[in-house]
């Protein structure tokens, strides 16, 4: 018989696993029990609509058998089984696992314990076994197959005999060493406790023949009886009462079910009756999965109908802005035979989804209020999603998200919510001010910011591309409009100051027009600035597209060749010595004034974090001045 090689990826993973110094080798049992339970789920689901399956719920079971003499542990199920192709595809490759991709992408060293971190299912058996056999018969097929492997040289598949559909996995345990006593895995007490620890909620009975020793009379040999016992309590955790459960119970379930290695930030366990009846157990993870910000990430909750799994990732239960939430929803209102398409229309499902969204929002609001540090940590990981949510929903998600988003600000440089900002607004302050820039440091260098700070107004720092787009969609918060410090009219001055500025603007109108003509392809207006304190110039935008938005939109790959342009104005500070110089030039040397207009524009670009359009011309102009 020909031995087949494992796929290259699988082989590398296997090597790592076998040689890993992983301390929790025991999780192999949980992995194969979960697989068995999934296989039963599939056949049980079929049996509900297809009487030819011939099994009732009570007939389904997972059976463990221990053989101390031969050092084996066997786990059998009467689930859906595998065809020859399934065996080849499922056990010959680990393409689905994602763990290796993660390791590669993040360039982690060999000693990183990815097994412990992700759980690699079936392959974990090779941490404790020197040989594994899988005898299986797919439901509906009349052929059985035996898969065999020592995890190193590859595997063989041969035809075999098996009466019923299902799978039997036998592990031939490795020899004991100084440090590792593999024989404990065929010890009944050890196995009982592992099942309790990791697989208690499995909804099908996990049966095992258990020996009991009875001491009857002194001096007499004890009596040993054997009995088949069910090792797990079988009630899914979400069906239990909250007061029966500890945080550890919740966390263990999460770690196992959702293959994370860090406990979640928090969980939400809710039971509902009324318009929609359902139990939900939701988790907010502490870290983002490696593919979270890629298009490969699939959001969704596991959906059960009266304890039967009907969908692994039901996307309709979660809005995009809460796509990081993991969990389980179990409702008796849903029909078992419901198709994906029908599910999308389902009224009950919509009500459940709305309720879940509310619970998640409430939980996060509570965390923000009661445990700021925890919230900020969470926010660092997933907060960006909220701003995208506001933007992409065209504001529909405003009410849900407006009090969950945060920005850094000029006030102590910390994260602030909009509520906090508004509560600190000065008397007479009409707007929520914000400034865009790559970093907090860069923003703090913007010329426009000085005067606002002098007024005692707080400025929000928009350092993420999505920030400004999100608030453009929000329009206002609590009736207060947002204002960019690059806006033409910042509304900072008193009536008197405004009058004076207007006068000065009028007086120099001709000069400004002259300057604008020198750079007419770049700016629409040249004018006096009312928002500068010590800096000579700045740019401001007059239209709907701000300078920051121009930057972001033009950096998007799909925007090639179709550049967006903000309507820009070059503003000159009348209190800066340069202003007097400009006036002199206008009277005496108009040619030089043209060069000054260009230079001032280029300087303003640099300050905004934009690049100079013609660096050679810029350098020549400077040199011209330097050698004058
Ligand atoms: P995962 O469970 O994460 O998909 P595994 O390596 O544990 O990864 O299993 C790979 C696949 O092998 C499973 O998805 C399933 O299709 C199949 N499989 C494993 N164990 C069984 C079983 N007892 N019965 C039927 N199919 C199984």
Could you tell me what percent of the chain has a pLDDT over 90? Answer: 54
What is the rounded CA–CA span in Å between residue 460 and residue 454? 15
- How far, CA to CA in Å, does 615 sit from each of 388, 394, 450, 612? 35, 39, 28, 6
Contact of 294 with 280, CB cutoff 8 Å: no
Count the alpha carbons within 13 Å of 410 in the hemisphere toward its beta carbon: 25
With cut-offs at 50, 70 and 90, classify the pLDDT of residue 112.
Answer: very low
pLDDT at 114: 42
**Look-up: residue for tokens 């000085």?**
450
With cut-offs at 50, 70 and 90, classify the pLDDT of residue 62.
Answer: very high
What is the rounded CA–CA span in Å between residue 304 and residue 417? 37
Distance between alpha carbon 62 and the CA centroid of its chain, in Å?
34
- The strand pair at 432-436 and 459-462 is best described as parallel
- Ligand 1 contact, 122 CB (< 6 A): yes
pLDDT in tens, 531-577: 888 889 998 888 777 777 887 777 776 655 667 788 889 999 998 99
Contact of 477 with 463, CB cutoff 8 Å: no
Please give the structure tokens belonging to residue 51. Answer: 């009487």
pLDDT in tens, 378-426: 999 999 999 999 999 998 999 999 999 999 999 888 899 999 999 999 9
Contact of 623 with 615, CB cutoff 8 Å: no
Q: Whose CA is nearest to atom 12 of ligand 1?
A: 90
Question: What predicted TM-score, i.e. pTM, was given to this entire model?
Answer: 0.67
| Cβ neighbours for 342, distance < 8 A, ≥ 6 positions apart | none
**Look-up: residue for tokens 């054997």?**
226
Please give the structure tokens belonging to residue 623. Answer: 């040199």
Q: Which residue has the higher pLDDT, 138 or 100?
A: 138
Query: Which atom of ligand 1 lies nearest, measured to the CA of 123?
Result: 6
pLDDT in tens, 77-89: 999 999 999 998 8
Please give the structure tokens belonging to residue 148. Answer: 């065999």
With cut-offs at 50, 70 and 90, classify the pLDDT of residue 93.
Answer: low
What is the rounded CA–CA span in Å between residue 628 and residue 624? 6
Q: Give the orientation angle of helix 590-608 with respect to helix 509-518, to 10 degrees.
A: 70
For ligand 1, mutation pick of 31, 33, 38 (most atoms within 8 Å of CB): 38
Q: Whose CA is nearest to atom 1 of ligand 1?
A: 121
What is the rounded CA–CA span in Å between residue 82 and residue 140? 10
- CA 226 to centroid of ligand 1, rounded, Å: 31
What is the rounded CA–CA span in Å between residue 124 and residue 18? 8
Query: Which atom of ligand 1 lies nearest, measured to the CA of 94?
Result: 6
Q: Hey, which residues does 462 pair with through a beta bridge? A: 436
What is the rounded CA–CA span in Å between residue 169 and residue 124? 13
Residues in the chain: 628
Q: Which residues of 353-365 are buried (b: 16+ CB within 10 A; e: fewer)?
A: bebbbebbbebbe
- Ligand 1 contact, 553 CB (< 6 A): no
- CA 259 to centroid of ligand 1, rounded, Å: 15
- Ligand 1 contact, 62 CB (< 6 A): no
Query: Which atom of ligand 1 lies nearest, measured to the CA of 166?
Result: 24
- Ligand 1 contact, 132 CB (< 6 A): no
Number of neighbouring beta carbons within 10 Å of residue 260: 20
Please give the structure tokens belonging to residue 42. Answer: 């599939």
3-state secondary structure at position 133: strand
| Cβ neighbours for 479, distance < 8 A, ≥ 6 positions apart | none
Section 508-519 average pLDDT: 94
Whole-number mean pLDDT of the chain?
A: 87
Please provide residue 59's backbone torsions phi and psi, each rounded to the nearest 5 degrees: -80, -20
Please provide residue 25's backbone torsions phi and psi, each rounded to the nearest 5 degrees: -55, -25
- CA 349 to centroid of ligand 1, rounded, Å: 29
Query: Which atom of ligand 1 lies nearest, measured to the CA of 31?
Result: 7
Section 603-626 average pLDDT: 89
Q: Hey, which residues does 169 pair with through a beta bridge? A: 75, 134
Q: In terms of Cα–Cα distance, which of 527, 564, 529 is closest to 547?
A: 564
For ligand 1, mutation pick of 17, 27, 35 (most atoms within 8 Å of CB): 35
What is the rounded CA–CA span in Å between residue 549 and residue 565? 9
pLDDT in tens, 291-343: 888 888 999 999 887 776 678 789 999 999 999 999 999 998 876 656 666 77
With cut-offs at 50, 70 and 90, classify the pLDDT of residue 90.
Answer: confident
Query: Which atom of ligand 1 lies nearest, measured to the CA of 169?
Result: 23
- CA 438 to centroid of ligand 1, rounded, Å: 47
- CA 332 to centroid of ligand 1, rounded, Å: 28
What is the rounded CA–CA span in Å between residue 503 and residue 282? 63
Strand order in the sheet with 525-528: 525-528, 568-572, 537-541
269-283, 294-308, 427-441, 453-467: range with lowest mean pLDDT? 294-308
Has residue 163 got a pLDDT over 70?
yes
**Look-up: residue for tokens 């992995």?**
31
- Ligand 1 contact, 96 CB (< 6 A): yes
Q: Whose CA is nearest to atom 18 of ligand 1?
A: 35
- Ligand 1 contact, 417 CB (< 6 A): no
Has residue 75 got a pLDDT over 80?
yes
For ligand 1, mutation pick of 74, 83, 122, 260 (most atoms within 8 Å of CB): 122
- Ligand 1 contact, 258 CB (< 6 A): no
> What region does 135 belong to: left with phi over 0, alpha with psi -120 to 50, or beta?
beta
Count the alpha carbons within 13 Å of 117 in the hemisphere toward its beta carbon: 15
What is the rounded CA–CA span in Å between residue 611 and residue 267? 47
Q: In terms of Cα–Cα distance, which of 295, 307, 267 is closest to 283?
A: 267
pLDDT at 106: 44
- Ligand 1 contact, 167 CB (< 6 A): yes
pLDDT at 68: 95
Please provide residue 48's backbone torsions phi and psi, each rounded to the nearest 5 degrees: -70, -25
Q: Whose CA is nearest to atom 3 of ligand 1?
A: 121
3-state secondary structure at position 159: strand
What is the rounded CA–CA span in Å between residue 226 and residue 209? 6
- CA 256 to centroid of ligand 1, rounded, Å: 15
pLDDT at 341: 66
**Look-up: residue for tokens 């309790």?**
196
pLDDT at 26: 84
Q: Whose CA is nearest to atom 7 of ligand 1?
A: 121
Contact of 274 with 368, CB cutoff 8 Å: no
Q: In terms of Cα–Cα distance, which of 45, 56, 49, 52 is closest to 80?
A: 45
Has residue 614 got a pLDDT over 70?
yes
Q: In terms of Cα–Cα distance, which of 481, 500, 477 is closest to 490?
A: 481
- Tell me the residue ranges of DSSP E strands in 427-585: 432-436, 459-462, 476-477, 480-484, 525-528, 537-541, 568-572
pLDDT in tens, 454-496: 888 999 999 998 999 999 999 899 999 999 988 767 767 778 8
Has residue 585 got a pLDDT over 90?
yes
Which DSSP letter does residue 533 get? Answer: S
With cut-offs at 50, 70 and 90, classify the pLDDT of residue 16.
Answer: low
- Ligand 1 contact, 166 CB (< 6 A): no
- CA 152 to centroid of ligand 1, rounded, Å: 19
For ligand 1, mutation pick of 14, 27, 121 (most atoms within 8 Å of CB): 121
Could you tell me what percent of the chain has a pLDDT over 70? Answer: 90
Query: Which atom of ligand 1 lies nearest, measured to the CA of 119?
Result: 3
pLDDT at 95: 35
- CA 183 to centroid of ligand 1, rounded, Å: 25
406 burial via Cβ count (<10 Å: 0-12, 13-18, 19+):
buried
pLDDT at 540: 87
Count the alpha carbons within 13 Å of 174 in the hemisphere toward its beta carbon: 18
- CA 139 to centroid of ligand 1, rounded, Å: 15
What is the rounded CA–CA span in Å between residue 571 and residue 337? 67
Section 94-100 average pLDDT: 42
Section 110-126 average pLDDT: 58
pLDDT at 120: 61
Q: In angstroms, how far is the first alpha carbon of the chain from the final one?
A: 90
Please give the structure tokens belonging to residue 504. Answer: 């000065």
Which DSSP letter does residue 4 get? Answer: B
- Ligand 1 contact, 82 CB (< 6 A): yes
- Ligand 1 contact, 121 CB (< 6 A): yes
């Amino acid at each position: 018989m020909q031995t087949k090689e494992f796929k290259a990826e699988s082989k590398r993973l296997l090597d790592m696993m076998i040689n890993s110094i992983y301390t929790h080798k025991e999780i192999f049992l949980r992995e194969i029990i979960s697989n068995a339970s999934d296989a039963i789920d599939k056949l049980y689901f079929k049996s509900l609509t297809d009487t030819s399956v011939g099994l009732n719920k009570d007939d389904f079971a997972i059976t463990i058998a221990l053989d101390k003499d031969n050092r084996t542990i066997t786990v059998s199920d009467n689930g859906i089984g595998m065809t020859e192709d399934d065996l080849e595809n499922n056990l010959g490759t680990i393409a689905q696992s994602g763990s290796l991709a993660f390791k590669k992408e993040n360039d982690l060293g060999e000693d990183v314990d990815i097994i412990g971190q992700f759980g690699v299912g079936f392959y974990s058996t090779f941490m404790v076994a020197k040989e594994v056999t899988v005898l299986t018969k797919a439901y509906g097929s009349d052929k059985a197959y035996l898969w065999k492997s020592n995890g190193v040289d590859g595997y063989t598949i041969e035809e075999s005999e098996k009466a019923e559909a299902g799978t039997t996995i036998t592990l031939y345990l490795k020899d004991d060493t100084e440090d590792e006593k593999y024989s404990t895995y065929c010890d009944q007490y050890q196995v009982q406790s592992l099942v309790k620890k990791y697989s208690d909620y499995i909804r099908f009975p996990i049966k095992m023949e258990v020996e009991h020793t009875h001491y009857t009379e002194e001096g007499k040999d004890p009596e040993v009886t054997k009995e088949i016992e069910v090792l797990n309590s079988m009630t899914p955790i979400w069906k239990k009462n909250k007061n029966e459960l500890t945080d550890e119970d919740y966390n263990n379930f999460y770690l196992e079910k959702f293959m994370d290695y860090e406990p979640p930030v928090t969980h939400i366990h809710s039971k509902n009756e009324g318009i929609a009846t359902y139990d939900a157990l939701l988790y907010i993870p502490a870290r983002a999965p490696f593919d979270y910000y890629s298009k490969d990430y699939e959001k969704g909750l596991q959906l059960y109908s009266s304890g039967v799994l009907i969908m692994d990732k039901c996307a309709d239960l979660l809005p995009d802005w809460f796509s990081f939430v993991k969990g389980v929803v179990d409702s008796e209102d849903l029909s078992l035979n419901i198709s994906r398409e029908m599910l999308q229309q389902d009224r009950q499902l919509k009500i459940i989804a709305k309720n879940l969204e509310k619970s998640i929002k409430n939980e996060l609001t509570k965390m923000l209020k009661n445990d700021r540090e925890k919230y900020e940590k969470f926010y660092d990981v997933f907060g960006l999603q909220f701003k995208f949510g506001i933007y992409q929903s065209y504001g529909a998600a405003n009410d849900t998200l407006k009090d969950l988003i945060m920005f850094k600000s000029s006030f102590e440089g910390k994260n602030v919510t909009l509520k906090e900002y508004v509560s600190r607004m000065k008397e007479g302050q009409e707007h929520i001010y914000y400034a865009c820039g790559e970093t907090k440091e860069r923003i703090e260098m913007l010329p426009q910011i000085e005067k606002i700070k002098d007024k005692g107004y707080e400025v929000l720092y928009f350092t993420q591309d999505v920030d400004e787009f999100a608030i453009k969609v929000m329009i206002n918060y609590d009736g207060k409009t947002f204002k960019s410090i690059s806006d033409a009219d910042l509304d900072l001055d008193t009536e008197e100051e405004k009058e004076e500025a207007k006068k000065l603007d009028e007086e120099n109108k001709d000069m400004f027009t002259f300057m604008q003509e020198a750079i007419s392809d770049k700016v629409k207006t040249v004018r006096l600035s009312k928002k500068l304190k010590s800096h000579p110039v700045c740019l401001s935008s007059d239209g709907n597209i701000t300078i920051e938005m121009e930057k972001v939109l033009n950096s998007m790959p799909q925007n090639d060749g179709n550049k967006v342009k903000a309507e820009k104005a070059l503003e000159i500070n009348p209190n800066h010595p340069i202003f007097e110089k400009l006036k002199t030039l206008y009277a005496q040397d108009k040619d030089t004034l043209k060069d000054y207009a260009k230079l001032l524009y280029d300087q303003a670009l640099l300050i905004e974090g934009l690049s100079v359009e013609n660096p050679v011309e810029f350098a020549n102009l400077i040199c011209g001045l330097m050698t004058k």
